[in-house]
């Protein structure tokens, strides 16, 4: 705020407040990190220590044992498939709804917008029955397809983006005899970097962290995703020592923290950009 300018003590107070509340927001992460390196004895010792006496890196191995490698692999596959397929679908649909003229375009857009307001729970039970009847329980089809189908938000975002793209760019190509496929691949896609980056960032995050649907659509241990493996650790610290549980949380969150720190710009632009005209 501009009030701080010209009042050094006020400025200092302001900066201190920013730092204090920032540390407070990050404090749970600090607690997670220090406890994931404590020994099994130190982590339950009273009073708790605020810095590990010794750093126990062998906790990494123990935590990986609890998470089991198949959950990590499943989560990577799950996230990759959903992000790539859903992105392809919403970019194309969003573009068509913005720039192509075809019968039923208006009602289609309304349909996508209306379903954004229906909570997932309403569709959850029938989707489960559908997936079960297709014999898709415990398959990647069953895990991914119903999530990929949740395209309304993405369609809306990309439609808004392409509406603001000038028609002249497309018209020039049309006069040169390019068809829609060529226009889309050669002209539209190269201009769509920012919204694609933002949407990818948000989708990766959502898919990596998803819990309820994988919980319902899988029964076998080797089809579990990371959040399912993690949830088991949360139920009771008597079965899993808390230091190992914290290390498991840290390991499962670390890839996405690194991803976030490098892609922060896209998150902020993608989410904050939603409110800019």
Partner 1 sequence: MAPISRTASRRKTNSRTDSPFWAALFVGPNLVLFTTFMIIPIIWGLGLSLFDWNLIGEPRFVGLANYLDILKDARAVNSVWKTVYLVFLGVVPTVLLSFLLAVLINTNFPGYTVFRTMYLLPIVISLVASAVLWRFIYDPRVGPIAQLLGVFGISGPNWLQDTTWAMPALSLVIVWLRLPLGVILYLAALQQINPQLLEAAEIDGAGPWAKLRHVIWPNVMPVTLLILVLTLRGIIFDSFDIAFVMTKGGPLNSTDILAVYIYDLAFAQLRLGYASALSTVLFVIVTILALVFNPPRRRSTNGDPV
Instruction: For the segment 102-141, give every residue that binds partner 1 (CB under 8 A).
Output: 102-103, 108, 111-112, 115-130
Contact 81, 144 (CB under 8 A): yes
- Smallest separation, CB 156 to partner 1 (Å): 8
Per-residue x/- mask for partner 1, residues 63 to 92, rule CB under 8 A?
--------------------------xx-x
Q: How many of the chain's residues bind partner 1 (CB under 8 A)? A: 108
CB atoms within 10 A of CB 47: 5
Q: Which bin fits 104, alpha (ψ -120 to 50), beta or left (φ > 0)?
A: left
Q: Which of 67, 93, 70, 223 is nearest to 149 (CA)?
A: 93
Can residue 274 be called a binding residue for partner 1 (CB under 8 A)? Answer: yes
Can residue 44 be called a binding residue for partner 1 (CB under 8 A)? Answer: yes
Q: Which is nearer to partner 1, 70 or 92 (CB)?
A: 92
- Smallest separation, CB 57 to partner 1 (Å): 20
Which residue in the set 140, 180, 196, 197 belongs to the binding site for partner 1 (CB under 8 A)?
A: 180
Q: Which is nearer to partner 1, 70 or 160 (CB)?
A: 160
| CA angle (88 as vertex; 78, 223 as ends), nearest 5 | 10
Q: Which is nearer to partner 1, 43 or 223 (CB)?
A: 43
Q: Which is nearer to partner 1, 133 or 190 (CB)?
A: 133
Residues 169 and 244: their CA atoms lie apart, in Å, by: 56
Q: Which of 196, 210, 193 is nearest to 79 (CA)?
A: 210
- H/E run at residue 117: none
CA dihedral of 153, 189, 184, 199, whole degrees rounded to 10: -10
The answer, yes or no, to whether the previous bond of 185 is cis (omega within 30 of 0) is no
Can residue 6 be called a binding residue for partner 1 (CB under 8 A)? Answer: no
Which residue in the set 100, 169, 189, 191 belongs to the binding site for partner 1 (CB under 8 A)?
A: 100
Which residue in the set 18, 84, 189, 191 belongs to the binding site for partner 1 (CB under 8 A)?
A: 18
- Smallest separation, CB 159 to partner 1 (Å): 10
Q: Which is nearer to partner 1, 118 or 172 (CB)?
A: 118
- Going from the C-alpha of 189 to that of each of 90, 103, 161, the distances in angstroms are 13, 24, 12
């Amino acid at each position: 705020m501009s009030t701080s300018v010209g009042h050094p003590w006020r400025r200092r107070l302001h900066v201190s407040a920013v730092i204090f509340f920032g540390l407070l927001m990050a404090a749970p992460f600090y607690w997670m990190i220090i406890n994931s390196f404590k020994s099994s004895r130190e982590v339950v010792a009273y009073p708790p220590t605020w810095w590990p006496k010794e750093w126990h890196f062998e906790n990494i191995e123990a935590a990986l044992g609890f998470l089991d490698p198949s959950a990590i692999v499943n989560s990577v596959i799950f996230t990759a498939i959903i992000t790539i397929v859903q992105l392809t679908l919403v970019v194309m649909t969003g573009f068509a709804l913005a720039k192509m003229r075809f019968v039923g375009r208006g009602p289609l857009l309304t349909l996508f917008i209306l379903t954004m307001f229906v909570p997932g729970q309403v569709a959850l039970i029938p989707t489960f029955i559908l997936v079960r009847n297709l014999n898709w329980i415990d398959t990647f089809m069953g895990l991914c397809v119903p999530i990929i189908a949740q395209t309304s938000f993405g369609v809306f975002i990309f439609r808004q983006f392409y509406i603001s793209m000038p028609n002249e760019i497309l018209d020039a190509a049309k006069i040169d005899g390019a068809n829609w496929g060529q226009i889309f691949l050669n002209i539209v896609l190269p201009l769509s970097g920012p919204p694609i980056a933002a949407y990818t960032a948000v989708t990766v995050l959502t898919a990596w962290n998803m819990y309820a649907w994988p919980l319902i659509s899988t029964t076998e241990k080797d089809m579990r995703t990371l959040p399912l493996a993690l949830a088991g650790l949360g139920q009771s610290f008597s079965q899993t020592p808390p230091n190992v549980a914290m290390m498991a949380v840290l390991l499962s969150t670390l890839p996405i923290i690194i991803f976030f720190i490098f892609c922060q710009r896209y998150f902020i632009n993608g989410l904050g950009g939603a409110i800019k005209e």
